[in-house]
Structure 1
Amino acid sequence: MREFETPILDDHLHLDPRHGRGVEAAKDFARSGGTHLLVVNKPSWLLGVTPETGEDFRAVYEETIETVEAASDVLRGRAWPVLGVHPALISRLVDDRGYDPDTAADLMKAGLETAAEYAASGPAVALKSGRPHYDVSDAVWDASNEVLRRALELAAETGVAVQLHTEQTTDLTDVAAWAEDAGLAPERVVKHYASGQLDGVTKSVMARKEYLETAIEVDEPFLMETDFVDDPDRPGAVMGPKTVPRRVDWLLESGHEPAVRTAHVETPETVYGIDTVATLDD
């Protein structure tokens, strides 16, 4: 039993009741002391959706929202959805389906516009976007950045945050400038799968001890995540749902209560406008 009572938020994971463990993974998180989750929709192609229009993404979002509601029922706190279009979709559209990059980008923007409806109406606290984390042509890179910029605009319009899947980097000051241009505070832009150091936007730090130690040393706002993928074909991929609670215990045992409060109370409030304390046992 941890002596220091705290909410524990995993900022980015996936739950897939159709193919994976679904809510059972959320139960593992809760049994380990986890209280709150941000559940990100899986890429459309992993849920059997081959979009032709922005409306076609709605099935992905609806399934994620249903899963979030079920996860909330097993948590002391609650879960929230993060909805959007995975940036790797552009490669599937261009390489596999023959789209030119600009047309692919238009479809992805339309998918984000559908996601923004859920942000405007309430359930989604962030949009998901980004750009490829692997080598692509200049045309695909430019088109991907246009999709990312549209996500920033939609987040500003609907009053939510943005979670980004990007290349491995410690510098996203370019994206921070685009956020400001769009009217979105850069601290409301989150790089998921981050290390402990990042300039420009808020970092969602992978729950590795060395990354967390760096984040504490840097002493800037951060979040913690596992990027649990909930894929039975990749059982060892990324981190399991028990990891963030266990890392919080390790941080508390190491005397890092202020860092825990930063990652699980203060930064979630600043970025997403969520109150992880008030929603405990709600």
Structure 2
Amino acid sequence: MDELDTPVVDNHLHLDPDNGRGLDAVEDFARLGGTHLLVVNKPSWHLGDIPKSPSEFEHVFATTIDVVDAATEVLPGRAWPVLGVHPGLVSRLVDDRGLAPEAARDLMCAGLDRAAEFVRNGDALALKSGRPHYEVTDAVWEASNDVMRHAFALGAEVDCAVQLHTEATDDLTEVAAWAEDRGVPAHKVVKHYAGGRLAGPTPSVMSDKDRLEAAAESGEPFLMETDFVDEPDRPGAVLGPKTVPRRVRWLLDSGHDAAVERAHVETPARVYGIDTRSALSG
């Protein structure tokens, strides 16, 4: 297979070095032409028990940083960690552990505080937060929004982007305004699992052809992702690690060279301050 003359970035996937494919998935990505990965820590309950204290997030973050270091050794470019607290944790804490929504909020905010320390120290690139994509009570919804707003305040404090897991929508202008009110520019807010068009934050577009074609034709900044979950009991869940390189070839074959440059060079620089070309050559 011919090499791709461009950086190829998967903006959001998970790696589980102990229970999943781990570096084998990274090798698949690189073999197809992938160069850079943003690796988001798996939900905390997938790498241990439901946290009862802020210190119990440390294992999740450390595991992610370790696998990112190993992935960088495999890639022609490099990988970066994105650390945070999955918004679905609120339901685990409220429904399974019996916490009040306010207590769940406080624990999740404390976990984000820990994640922000890794960003501050240069050990992670960005934060991850959001709110449930499913129906919840009003109290849980408001607690979740409080957690997300706290993530924005931390993002401003440590000067980093914030990836969001939210409900399916093509309009998050209100959320982008919350971020800007706390000091994070709207373009540094990234909606994971996005469609091809999005008002407010930068879309991280799921790499199916219809969504990518819409993003390419929009002329707007966007990123590409698979949300590969790296769970052996869910092998067909979301998209596999080979998908982004394959979709980049398809975009190039379809004449969308400018869109590929936007998604893999210009938008990563704009959102995260990373130079994927120099990271590739270096």
TM-score for both structures, normalised by structure 1: 0.98
> Residues 44-96 of structure 1, C-alpha deviation per residue, up to 9 Å, x if partnerless?
00001331221210110000000000000000000000000000000000001
Q: Deviations over 1:94-149 (max 9, x none)?
A: 00101000110000000000000001010211101000000000000000000000
* Divergent runs of 4+, >6 A: none
Alignment match, 1:41: 41
Mapped partners of 1:211, 1:34: distance in 2: 20
3-state DSSP of counterpart to 1:73: helix
Residue 281 of structure 1, CA deviation: 3.9
Q: Partner of 1:194 in structure 2?
A: 194
> Corresponding residue for 1:67?
67
Q: Distance in 1 between matches of 2:109 and 2:47?
A: 19
What residue number does 2:110 align with? Answer: 110
Which residue identity is paired with 1:42?
K
Paired residue type of 1:67: V
Question: SS of the residue aligned with 2:278?
Answer: coil
Specify the code of the residue in structure 2 equivalent to 1:266. E
Q: How far apart are residue 219 of structure 1 and its match?
A: 1.3
Residues 241-282 of structure 1, C-alpha deviation per residue, up to 9 Å, x if partnerless?
000000000011111110000000000001011110001142
Larger mean CA deviation between 44-53 and 87-96 belongs to 44-53
Query: Cα RMSD between the aligned structures?
Result: 0.9
What SS does the aligned partner of 2:264 have?
A: helix
Kindly provide the amino acid, as one letter, of the partner of residue 248 in structure 1.
V
Q: How far apart in 2 are the matches of 1:4 and 1:95?
A: 47
| Residue in structure 1 matched with residue 92 of structure 2 by the alignment | 92
Superposition TM-score, scaled by structure 2 size: 0.98
Q: Which amino acid aligns with 1:131?
A: R
Q: Structure 2 unaligned segments of length 5 or more: list them.
A: none
Q: 1:37 to 1:4 in 2, by over 3 A?
A: closer
Identity %: 66
Q: CA deviation at 1:3?
A: 7.0
Q: Equivalents in 1 of 2:225, 2:88: separation in Å?
A: 20
Q: Structure 1: how far apart are the matches of 2:199 and 2:19?
A: 37
Match of 1:151 in 2: 151
Residue-pair matches, total: 282
Q: Map of 1:1-282 to 2, 5 A cutoff?
A: 1-2=1-2, 5-282=5-282
CA deviation string 1:131-181 (max 9, x = no partner):
000000000000000000000000110011000000000010011110111
8 Å CA contact 1:4–1:252 kept in 2: the answer is no
> What secondary structure does 2:18 align onto?
coil
8 Å contact 1:38–1:81 — kept in the other structure? yes
Distance 1:216 1:3 in 2: 22
Q: C-alpha separation between the residues in 2 aligned to 1:16 and 1:3? A: 28
Distance 1:102 1:163 in 2: 23
CA distance in 2, matches of 1:46, 1:56: 13
| 1:279 match: secondary structure | helix
